[in-house]
């Protein structure tokens, strides 16, 4: 019916083009009044007229997340799938900025990597103001180049998940794209010498930052990343400080992507390292008593398995394992099993009382004795919230 994609439309990213918008948002758009009234039977030409009437960009807003007309028009474009030259015309037109942004958005959703960078980067020079509708219904001020930056660097915009495109430096290293020439390059020619000092400072900054992140990584990965960064720096030597706004934003964007990935890795590493530390602390007492390598290894395996699950379960499992260890020891004829038994129980009791004394968050609470609370505080800190009380 009216909501079916044009039968002659091609598959985008391996799926029906309308499926680029996720199900809940899609149903909301189909039920929207603007869609039903204005977007019925639109063709590419009449779509232009509707696009010229747009006066704000945005995703969904309000308590029940109503879609904006911008969203509805994006959906319509996905449905009728206009030709690429029409979309490029949308982008190239100078008069109507919302038509431009609409075309850019559609191209970001459906175009190939090279196309995306090729057609969207000239829009970085468009500094016109845009009205953006926020999620709570208010309007905010933004600019065309800010929106384009969001499209190129982030993977989520206007409540639609953007398809993944390769990073710019990947395409540059493959050779499908030339290094980015900023429009402000010529203006900064005379400041090249002055920027050399700044360049040294800026170069050392990212190194210091990255050194912290590299703690848990293998040297091979370090080498690869350094090589990539160096080659990237070779290309962009001139541009590095020239257009500091744009480059810095994109560097930061890329750095942000990398940081996000690295942060996730770092968190994973840290969690694993912290687990190992906990293991070391609590098994230290038992290690003194027991010098058997194999027993330690067995307990390592058992303990690690148990600690990977919830705390309460692991406690009971520990006790069962300690009982099993006791039998194991008896079976292997080790002397003085009974004093060890007492120590074992005391050790157990000591641990439990320590755990009960918890609930005292320190600073941001990530070094809390109870691992569940410490984990929760870590998540809260990463989200910018205060620790648990």
Partner 1 sequence: MIEVVLNDRLGKKVRVKCNEDDTIGDLKKLVAAQTGTRADKIRIQKWYNVYKDHITLQDYEIHDGMGLELYYN
Nearer residue to partner 1 within complex by CB, 91 or 158: 158
Judged by CB, which is closer to partner 1: 2, or 161?
Answer: 161
Stretch that binds partner 1, among 31-39, 70-78, 283-291, 371-379 (CB under 8 A): 371-379
User: Rounded to whole angstroms, what are the CA distances from 108 to 87, 164, 165, 283, 382?
Assistant: 11, 10, 9, 54, 30
**Two structure tokens written together for 262:** 């690295």
Query: Is position 139 an interface residue for partner 1 (rule: CB under 8 A)?
Result: no
Instruction: Name residues contacting partner 1, limited to 98-137 (CB under 8 A).
Output: 135-136
Comparing CB distances to partner 1, the nearer of 60 and 68 is: 60
Binding segment (CB under 8 A) for partner 1, from list 73-81, 99-107, 221-229, 370-378: 370-378
DSSP β-bridge partners for residue 132: 57, 140
Q: Of the candidates 153, 159, 258, 303, which one interacts with partner 1 according to CB under 8 A?
A: 159
273 vs 385 by CB, closer to partner 1: 385
We find the least distance from the C-beta atom of residue 385 to partner 1, in angstroms, to be 6
Cα–Cα distance for residue pair 144/141, rounded to 1 Å: 10
Per CB under 8 A, 383 contacts partner 1: yes
Q: At what angle do helices 97-110 and 144-153 cross, to 10 degrees?
A: 10
Which part of the chain contacts partner 1 (CB under 8 A), choosing from 50-58, 189-197, 202-210, 369-377? 369-377
Does 140 help bind partner 1 (rule: CB under 8 A)? no
Least distance CB 138 / partner 1 (angstroms)? 13
Q: Which of 165, 250, 247 is nearest to 198 (CA)?
A: 247
User: Which residue, 58 or 111, is less far from partner 1 as judged by CB?
Assistant: 58
Shortest Å, Cβ 24 to partner 1: 6
Contact 265, 217 (CB under 8 A): yes
Q: How far is the CB of 137 from partner 1 (least distance, A)?
A: 12
Let me know: does 73 contact 50? Beta carbons within 8 Å. Answer: yes
Q: Which is nearer to partner 1, 24 or 337 (CB)?
A: 24
Whole-angstrom distance, CA of residue 307 vs CA of residue 26: 43
Return the residues of window 345-364 that contact partner 1 according to CB under 8 A: 359
Pick from 196, 198, 352, 372: which binds partner 1 (CB under 8 A)?
Answer: 372
Q: For residue 285, what are the contacts with CB-CB under 8 A and spacing of at least 6?
A: 343, 347
Question: Closest separation between CB of residue 71 and partner 1, Å?
Answer: 13
Distance, CA of 73 to CA of 42 (rounded, Å): 10
Q: Is the Cβ of residue 367 or residue 372 nearer to partner 1 in the bound state?
A: 372
Q: Which of 2, 140, 183, 388 binds partner 1 (CB under 8 A)?
A: 388
- For 259-290, letters b (16+ CB in 10 Å) and e give eeebeeebeeeeeeebeeeeeeebeeebeeeb
Out of 156, 183, 233, 280, which residue is the one contacting partner 1 (CB under 8 A)? Answer: 156
Nearest approach in angstroms of CB 268 to partner 1 is 14
Residue placing its CB nearer to partner 1 in the complex, 80 or 162: 162
- Residues 242 and 198: beta-carbon distance below 8 Å: no
E strands present in the chain: 57-58, 60-61, 66-67, 129-133, 139-143, 156-157, 160-161
Contact set for partner 1, span 49-78 (CB under 8 A): 60, 63-65
Enter the DSSP assignment of 190. G
Backbone angles phi and psi of 188, in degrees to 5: -100, 15
User: Residues 11-40: x/- map of binding to partner 1 (CB under 8 A)?
Assistant: -------------x----------------
Q: What 3-state DSSP class applies to 245?
A: helix
**Cα dihedral value 95, 101, 102, 103, nearest 10:** 80
CB of 44 to partner 1, least distance (A): 31
Would you count residue 385 as binding partner 1 (CB under 8 A)? yes
- Which residues contribute to the site for partner 1 (CB under 8 A)? 24, 60, 63-65, 135-136, 156, 159, 359, 372-373, 376, 379-380, 382-383, 385-386, 388-389
């Amino acid at each position: 019916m009216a909501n079916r994609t044009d039968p002659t439309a091609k598959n985008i990213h391996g799926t029906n083009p309308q499926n680029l918008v996720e199900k809940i948002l899609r149903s909301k758009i189909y039920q929207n009044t603007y869609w039903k009234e204005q977007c019925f039977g639109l063709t590419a030409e009449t779509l232009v007229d509707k696009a010229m009437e747009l006066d704000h960009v945005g995703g969904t807003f309000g308590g029940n997340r109503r879609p904006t007309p911008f969203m509805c028009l994006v959906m319509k474009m996905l449905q009728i799938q206009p030709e690429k030259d029409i979309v490029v015309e949308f982008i190239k037109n100078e008069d109507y900025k919302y038509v431009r942004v609409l075309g850019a958005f559609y191209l970001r959703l459906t175009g190939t990597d090279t196309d995306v960078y090729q057609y969207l980067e000239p829009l970085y020079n468009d500094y016109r103001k845009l009205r953006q509708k926020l999620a709570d219904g208010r309007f905010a001020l933004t600019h065309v180049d800010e929106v384009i930056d969001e499209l190129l660097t982030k993977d989520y915009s206007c409540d639609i998940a953007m398809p993944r495109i390769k990073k710019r430096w990947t395409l540059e290293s493959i050779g499908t794209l030339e290094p980015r020439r900023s429009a402000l390059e010529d203006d900064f020619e005379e400041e090249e010498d002055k920027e050399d000092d700044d360049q040294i400072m800026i170069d050392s900054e990212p190194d210091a930052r990255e050194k912290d992140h590299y703690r848990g990584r293998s040297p091979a990965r370090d080498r690869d990343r350094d090589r990539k960064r160096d080659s990237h720096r070779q290309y962009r030597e001139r541009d590095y400080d020239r257009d500091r706004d744009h480059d810095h934003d994109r560097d930061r964007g890329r750095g942000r992507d990398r940081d996000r990935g690295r942060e996730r890795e770092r968190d994973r590493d840290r969690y694993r390292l912290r687990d190992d530390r906990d293991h070391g602390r609590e098994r230290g007492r038992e290690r003194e008593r027991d010098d058997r390598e194999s027993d330690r290894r067995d307990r390592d395996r058992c303990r690690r398995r148990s600690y990977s699950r919830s705390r309460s379960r692991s406690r009971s499992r520990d006790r069962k394992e300690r009982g099993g260890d006791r039998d194991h020891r008896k079976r292997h004829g080790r002397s003085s099993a009974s004093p060890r038994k007492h120590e074992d129980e005391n050790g157990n009791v000591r641990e439990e009382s320590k755990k009960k004394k918890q609930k005292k968050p320190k600073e941001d609470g990530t070094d809390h004795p109870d691992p569940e609370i410490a984990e929760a505080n870590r998540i809260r800190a990463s989200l910018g919230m205060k620790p648990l009380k």
